Amino acid sequence: MSRDTKDIAILVFPTHSSIINEVKLTTMKKLKENNIIIFKIIQEKNFFSIYLNKPIKASNILSSFVGIKKIEIACSSQNNIKTIINKIIKIGQKIIIDEKFFIRVYSENSNFLPRDIEFLATGLLIEKLSNRLSRPSTNEETASKVMRVYIGNFKSYISWKSLDGIRGNSFGKIKRKAFIIIYNEISLFSLKKIIQMGFFPDILILYWDYMDLKNILLSLHQILDHISIHKFKLQVLKLNLLIPENNYLNTDILVNLLIIDICSYFSDLIDVIIPFNLILHPIWLIEYSINFCIKNGKIPWMPILFEEDLNFIHLPKNFNNYNLMATTLTRKKFNTYITLRNKIRIKSDNFRKNVKVYSIKRGLLNIRPNYIDNILNSI
């Protein structure tokens, strides 16, 4: 579709209108990180439009950015009904080819009635497309091409492409940190959820071997690319240093008990993330973790507690996914776990000495950032 690029804008719709200013600021930072030049920003009531030099690239980047509900790529128009309708007709003739179409108008401007514009534009477009097989649809669901028109108080926009965002709160909206331990797919999904809630996390990675750490770091990078963060610290600890070999106990359950201990004793932060889920974890373990954390002055957050979709997030192949814990432990067996866990002194100085700390400075968005290789080379 040929078009005058000076009229092309991307429309950014925050998850909530209350966070529009925070989303606008973090959006500007993210675009500058990727060397995209912003010419102008116009803020409307429920969205803002950005005029820039690479609208397609920018929309793809922002569609995976926390705090954004959706992105629209649109042609802008002056706010008068004749110009708006003419532009709808002009764009419609180019993008509607032998298919059912529907025009939906949203107006934040009291001077324009959406139904009037929809009726006029649809009638004129039917006339212009009369020599084709195109015809209007009665609703969006049955249409193969939907044109969305957004009328703001300053400009109007005719959208020709829409991308869904990942929603959530703006990054760092809650002005406090939370501590989270990353060790498997479920914990990574918990990290993604807690970032969407607006927390800024401190991260400790637990891993078994080189490949395990590699896959965790690559998955972590996918999540961190959804936020505007340049510098952060990663703490890394090998699980083999904690769990004795040949202990004949279920390693997954033992790791879960260690997660509770580390959250309670290792971090100075009050807010801790427990990556437990009602489908994957027994209720007694969830109750135990809540009571144990509160007893030690922590506030436990469980962002995936009621999550039903067990597919969670797409991680690199060969990732050792979490195993379902279907076995119900007896009190005697549970005490055996507690005895072994108590031999691992989380509160000791030796535990802290085994934790490696890396100060990370992220570069531009790329497939394999340098900090991943730097950490792997040091292990």
Q: What is the pLDDT of residue 363?
A: 57
Q: 3-state SS of the chain? A: CCCCHHHEEEEEEECCHHHHHHHHHHHHHHHHHCCCCEEEEEECCCCEEEEECCHHHHHHHHCCCCCEEEEEEEEEECCCHHHHHHHHHHHHHHHCCCCEEEEEEEECCCCCCHHHHHHHHHHHHHHHCCCCCCEECCCCCCCCEEEEEEECCCCEEEEEEEEEEEECCCCCCCCCEEEEEECCHHHHHHHHHHHHCCCEEEEEEEECCHHHHHHHHHHHHHHHCCCCCCEEEEEEEEHHHCCCCCCCCCHHHHHHHHHHHHHHHCCCCCEEECCCCCCCCCHHHHHHHHHHHHHCCCEEECCCCCCCCCCCCCCCCCCCCCCCCCCCCCHHHHHHHHHHHHCCCCCCHHHHHHCEEEEEECCCCCCCCHHHHHHHHHC
Q: What is the pLDDT of residue 203?
A: 94
What pLDDT digit, counting tens, does each position of 180-205 carry?
999 988 899 899 889 888 888 899 99
Q: Is residue 172 part of a domain?
A: no
Q: Is 348 exposed, middle or buried (0-12, 13-18, 19+ CB in 10 A)?
A: exposed
More confident residue, 240 or 298: 298
Question: Comparing C-alpha atoms, which of 110, 50, 112, 105 is closest to residue 80?
Answer: 112
Residues 145 and 228 in one domain: no
Q: Does the pLDDT of residue 377 top 90, yes or no?
A: no
Residues 194 and 291 in one domain: yes
Which residues 6+ apart lie within 8 Å of 82 measured at CB?
none
* Residue where the block lists tokens 């469980």: 302
Q: What is the pLDDT of residue 366?
A: 47
Other Cβ atoms within 10 Å of 16 Cβ, number: 16
Average pLDDT, the chain: 85
Question: What percentage of the chain has pLDDT greater than the value 90?
Answer: 45
**CA–CA gap between residue 254 and residue 242 (Å, rounded):** 10
Question: What percentage of the chain has pLDDT greater than the value 70?
Answer: 88
More confident residue, 366 or 217: 217
Residues 47 and 102 in one domain: yes
Q: Is residue 306 part of a domain?
A: yes
Q: What is the pLDDT of residue 172?
A: 72
Q: Is residue 75 part of a domain?
A: yes
Residues 191 and 274 in one domain: yes
| CATH for 135 | 3.30.2130.30
What pLDDT digit, counting tens, does each position of 317-362 carry?
445 444 444 345 666 777 777 777 777 777 767 788 889 999 887 6
Residues 59 and 120 in one domain: yes
Domains in the chain, number: 2
Q: Which pair of tokens denotes residue 336?
A: 């055996």
Domain extent, residue 262, equals: 177-378
Q: Bridge partners of 158?
A: 75, 149
Lowest mean pLDDT of 95-109, 274-288, 289-303, name the range. 274-288
Arithmetic mean of pLDDT, 363-378:
69
What pLDDT digit, counting tens, does each position of 205-234 carry?
999 999 999 999 988 888 887 776 777 889
Final residue before a domain boundary, out of 167, 196, 231: 167
| CATH for 202 | 3.40.50
Lowest mean pLDDT of 97-111, 240-254, 317-331, name the range. 317-331
Residues 249 and 348 in one domain: yes
What pLDDT digit, counting tens, does each position of 49-61 carry?
999 999 999 998 8
Residues 122 and 80 in one domain: yes
Q: What is the pLDDT of residue 310?
A: 55
Please give the model's pTM, rounded to 2 decimal places.
0.73
Final residue before a domain boundary, out of 149, 167, 185: 167
Question: Comparing C-alpha atoms, which of 301, 281, 307 is closest to residue 195?
Answer: 301
Residues 121 and 226 in one domain: no
